[in-house]
Homo-oligomer: A and B are copies of this chain.
Amino acid sequence: MDTSTLPSWRRCASRDAIEAFLEATRTVPVEQRVAVFDNDGTLWGEKPRYTQLDFFVRELKQAVERDPALGDRPEYRAVLAGDKDALAAFGLVPLVMALAQIHSGITPEEFTRRVQDFFASAEHPDRGVPYRGTRYQPMLELIDELRSRQFQVFVVTGGGAEFVRVISRSFYGVRPEGVVGSQIGYELDRVDGEPRLVRTTELSGDPNEGPAKIASIQRVLGQRPILAAGNSAGDIEMLEYAMATDGPSLALLVDHDDAEREYEYESVAGTLDAAGPVLKVADRQGWTVISMRDDWSTIFADA
C-alpha cells in the first residue's frame, strides 16, 4: 500500500496486520467483505464517561428543572451529585435503565430531536470540543480504506441503537440500518387514529454486550463479519466470532495506553462483569492489538 492510505497509522505491527488482511481479502467474494466496529472506545472516546451517559445527565437536568420532585429518586440524586460510590453500587445497566425512563412515552422522532440537540451544542467535558472531535482519525481512515475495497462497514455497539443512529451517518458514513445496538422497547399507540411508536422503560432483548453481540449481528445484519474491532471485554465474543470464519479474518483490539493524548486505562466490559483483562485474551487469541500511543500519529478527527 502506498503511504497516502492510512496516513495516521505509523509503521507498526498492527498496520502490517491490517495491510496483510486487506491484501488477502482481494479474492474474498464481495458479499463476504463485512466489517463490524464497536463504538465506545473503538470509534470514539468513552472517557471520562460514555457519551450517551453525558446525554442522559443533560436530559435529566432539564427534566428536573421542569419537575424538581424527580431529583429525589435515589439513582437521579446520585447522578446529579456525581456520587461515584452510589453510582457504582447501582451498576451500569440499572442506572442506564433508570435514566432511560426520562424518555418513556416519547416517539423515536422526538428522541432523535433531543439527541440532535445534544450533539449540536454539547462539548466533551475534558477536551472542550464537540463530540464529533472525539472520533479516532485512524479508525475513520481504516473505514474509508475498507469501503474503497467494497467492504460493508457496520457499527455494533453496547450503547443504544437509536442514540448512535442519530450520528452514525454523519460521523462514520454508516446508515441507520447498519447500527446494531441495545434496543429500547416500543409500544404502539394511536393519536387521532394514526399509529405511532412510543418508547417504553424496558429493553427489547439483552444489553448488546458480550455474547449478545454475536446473536444481534446475525439477527439484524444477517451476515458474518471477517473483521471485528473492539476495545473492551464486551467485545471478546464478537472478535472471536470474526476469527472463527474460514478464510482471511482480522480481530483488532484498541489498547488505551496513551495517558498524554487520550487516557490510559484497562478496558473492561461496559455492562457485564469483565471476563479478565482483555489484553490477556487478545494475547492468548493472537488478536492484533493497537497501541494508541505507539501506533497512531494522530488520535482525534477534526470536530
Chain A: residues with CB nearer than 8 A to chain B?
Answer: 31, 108-109, 152, 154, 161-162, 165, 169, 175-179, 183, 186, 188, 194-197, 204-205, 211, 214-215, 218-224, 237, 240-241, 243-244
Task: Let me know if B237 and A195 touch, CB within 8 A.
Answer: yes
Residues from chain B with a CB closer than 8 A to the CB of A241 are 195
Our pick among B161, B243, B244 for the contact of A222 (Cβ within 8 Å) is B161
Task: Let me know if B196 and A244 touch, CB within 8 A.
Answer: yes
Decide if the interface of chain A is mainly helix, strand, loop or mixed: helix
Q: How far is the CB of A123 from chain B (nearest CB, A)?
A: 26
Residues from chain B with a CB closer than 8 A to the CB of A161 are 219, 222
* Bound-state Cα–Cα, A175 to B176, Å: 14
Q: How far is the CB of A164 from chain B (nearest CB, A)?
A: 9
Residues from chain B with a CB closer than 8 A to the CB of A243 are 194
* Bound-state Cα–Cα, A219 to B204, Å: 9
Task: Let me know if A176 and B223 touch, CB within 8 A.
Answer: yes
Task: Let me know if A221 and B188 touch, CB within 8 A.
Answer: no
* Bound-state Cα–Cα, A221 to B221, Å: 10
Task: Let me know if B183 and A211 touch, CB within 8 A.
Answer: no
Task: Let me know if A197 and B176 touch, CB within 8 A.
Answer: no
* Bound-state Cα–Cα, A183 to B221, Å: 12
* Bound-state Cα–Cα, A211 to B198, Å: 13
Could you write out 19 A-B pairs with CB less than 8 Å apart?
A31-B169, A108-B222, A108-B224, A161-B222, A162-B222, A165-B222, A176-B223, A177-B221, A177-B223, A179-B222, A186-B214, A186-B219, A188-B237, A194-B240, A195-B214, A195-B244, A196-B244, A197-B214, A220-B220
